[in-house]
Chains A and B, each alone.
Chain A
Amino acid sequence: MKEQKHIMTMLVDNQPGVLSRVVGLFSGKGFNIESLCVAPTMDARVSRITIVTMANPPVIEQIEKQLRKLINVIKLRDMTGPRAVKREMVLICVRAKPEFRAEILRIVDIFRCKVVDVGTEHYIIEVTGDEGKLTALINLLAPMGIEKIARSGALALYREPK
């Protein structure tokens, strides 16, 4: 069966050890984690964990059930598909030789991202977007030479009814 990318978000008790219960479940059961984000919500007692995973349908069913079984997981949702807004932030340190500087800034402009640090030989670019946009940008910058990259991992929120 074909593996597909899933983005799961869960509300969990904001207590010590909860993250390791979630992560330990993935490693113990042999599930895969592509990215992971954790931060508190408006309610300080509750955190939101967002995990991107690759799995086929039976495995994703097990992942969901196993996560729901954890005592500290309050709520879980599969955010895959168009009904949720998904964003990821990336910091890209790109080599910026004089002959490429204008081209890089044009790309930055087209992608509506920002240059947040300028050096004699590099730019650090901050960009936020969905996976498609980020991949496109990275592909365009790659020929100039990407020296370092830091990705936040995906975040998602379900769209409220219009």
Chain B
Amino acid sequence: MKLTGAQILMEVLKEEEVDSIFGYPGGAIIDIYDELEKTDIHHVLVRHEQAAVHAADGYARAKSRVGVCLVTSGPGVTNTITGIASAYMDSVPIVILSGQVPTALIGNDAFQEVDIVGITRPCTKHNYLVMSIEDLAATVKEAFYLARSGRPGPILVDIPKDITKETTEYTPGQRVKLKSYNPTYNPNMKQLKKIGKLIESSERPMIFAGGGVILSKASRELTELARKTRIPVTTSLMGLGAFPETDPLSLGMIGMHGTYRANMCTSVCDLMIAIGVRFDDRVTGKTDAFASQSQIVHIDIDPTSIRKNIPVTIPVVGDCKISLEHLNQLIDQVELGNLDQKRKPWFDQIEEWKSTNSLAYEQKEVIKPQFVVEKLYELTKGQAIITTEVGQNQMWAAQYYQFDRPNHFITSGGLGAMGFGLPAAIGAQVAFPDATVVDIAGDSSIQMNIQEMATAVQSGLPVKVVILNNGYMGMVRQWQELFYDKRYVSTCMDCAPDFVKLAEAYGAVGLRATKPEEVESVLSEGLKIPKPVIMDFVVEKEEGVYPMVPAGAAITDMLLV
């Protein structure tokens, strides 16, 4: 059967079980859009291509599936760069399909031409320019395979316009063959046995879990290991939800804004089992001082993550889930004795640290942002999918909402891209139309992709936006307060729009709270409305995120309130 390139693309998308696409049309991809209309694939029309990628990111992370974007050539695809870079840093499986000028015009500086394969080379896992219709199906299939396998990541496929119109014979169900790509899923059992021995002998062990645990769907195995071996667990920002935060073994988040007890544990632990992490500088602080008395075990599917920032005693290259399954089986064969008794001094120490309640705050006359997040947690019973923007709002969301399940906290962790939260919430809502999806935002970052309110309204996606409105670019202001003698250069965001009216202008609902006693009623009212809602909370202007480790300091040098 002869099909056009655009038709072949649709066939492959169906084979890959794509149900939703986030995109924005343009000249170079009209033919693809024309065919898309004839399929059952749900297309979400965004208002800016950056948002298309963030939305695909939110969809992919909420659903553990490959997210798909469709954009046109030139400015369409250059707008996606921030989204792609964010997905690359956070290892999110996304396939970006971009239009390109016809093959005959490539290199001629044609209208809306850009060398996007060249531009995105350092921020994609891999990318392709399809130069022949014969290669189209195999390339797109490869893209999906690469996006989701090994350490996931974004893959871009650039498709010239003439290729979408040409025809060729299409054979369905082609297999992907890549001789130079073979991720290591199965861990080295000898290494795992060594970990078993270390767990047996250690007195002050801790587990440090990251986003890799969520990506490999290993939360259950991680929880089993921690409970069976009585080892306390901290997670990175990306790992929130990998281990239930309400579990007594949870230490909370580690890092620059981590809890006092989690950060203190790293300084005296004698064994750190790091799973699916990459020891980001926001986690380790000064690397020489990080877990310096500890043996470090590092399990990760990406060998480049191991020994990149931190020297490791036992490296294990493998899938987190498979590795943890094997490790759990090994532990079952070991006589561990009475662990509670053995670890009593360690747990006593942790309890003592816990009594320094590093997340304490006092709610007085003005609304505290922490209070808003805590109330949101209560009212949603911890069941909501939370996305965030970047900055203080992101940290307060991470600190004051308790995540007991994976795939419920979606944030731009590595890149820290402001403007991420609203489109990501849209993507998560597309993945789970009946879930409560809340973007915890700041008044600055929400304005980076505020235009996506139109997307939410048009597509009937009832996302909720909680703005912690302090009139500042809060996190930068906090740094200026602490390290730049309060010189608030260009961080005051006076002249923000009236967010309630803005919501209404978009055809959404706007609510506002200015006093602490209004917080609960605004939240419960807003959460009930089956439409997109912006809730504007006018909060304490100069509230800071604490604890805080100054950049470059040891992780235990925390500024407390």
Contacts and interface: CB of A to CB of B under 8 A. Distances in A.
B483 interface: no
B288 to A, nearest CB: 14
A28 B88 CA distance: 15
A74 B179 contact: yes
A9 B421 CA distance: 44
Contact of A28 (B122, B126, B146): B122
B121 interface: yes
B308 interface: yes
B476 interface: no
A65 B180 contact: no
Contact of A20 (B121, B125, B181): B121
Interface stretch (B299-307, B384-392, B505-513, B527-535): B299-307
A126 to B, nearest CB: 36
A28 B123 CA distance: 10
A73 B307 CA distance: 21
A71 B146 contact: yes
B180 A62 contact: no
Interface string B283-309: 000000000000000000011100110
Interface string A1-42: 000000000000100110011001100100000000000000
B181 A71 contact: yes
B118 interface: yes
Contact of B304 (A13, A65, A71, A74): A65
Contacts of A61: 307
A22 to B, nearest CB: 11
Contacts of B181: 71
Contact of B126 (A16, A62, A71, A75): A71
B122 A24 contact: yes
B121 A17 contact: yes
A72 interface: yes
A41 B303 CA distance: 28
A13 B180 contact: yes
B117 interface: yes
B121 A24 contact: yes
B178 A71 contact: yes
B126 A68 contact: no
Given A20-B121, A28-B122, A73-B180, A68 B307 contact: no
Q: Closest 8 interchain pairs by CB?
A: A74-B180, A65-B304, A71-B126, A65-B303, A28-B122, A71-B181, A66-B304, A24-B121
26 contacts: A16-B129, A17-B117, A17-B129, A20-B118, A21-B121, A24-B122, A25-B122, A28-B122, A58-B307, A62-B307, A62-B308, A65-B303, A65-B304, A66-B304, A69-B302, A69-B304, A71-B126, A71-B146, A71-B178, A71-B180, A71-B181, A72-B180, A73-B180, A74-B179, A74-B180, A75-B180
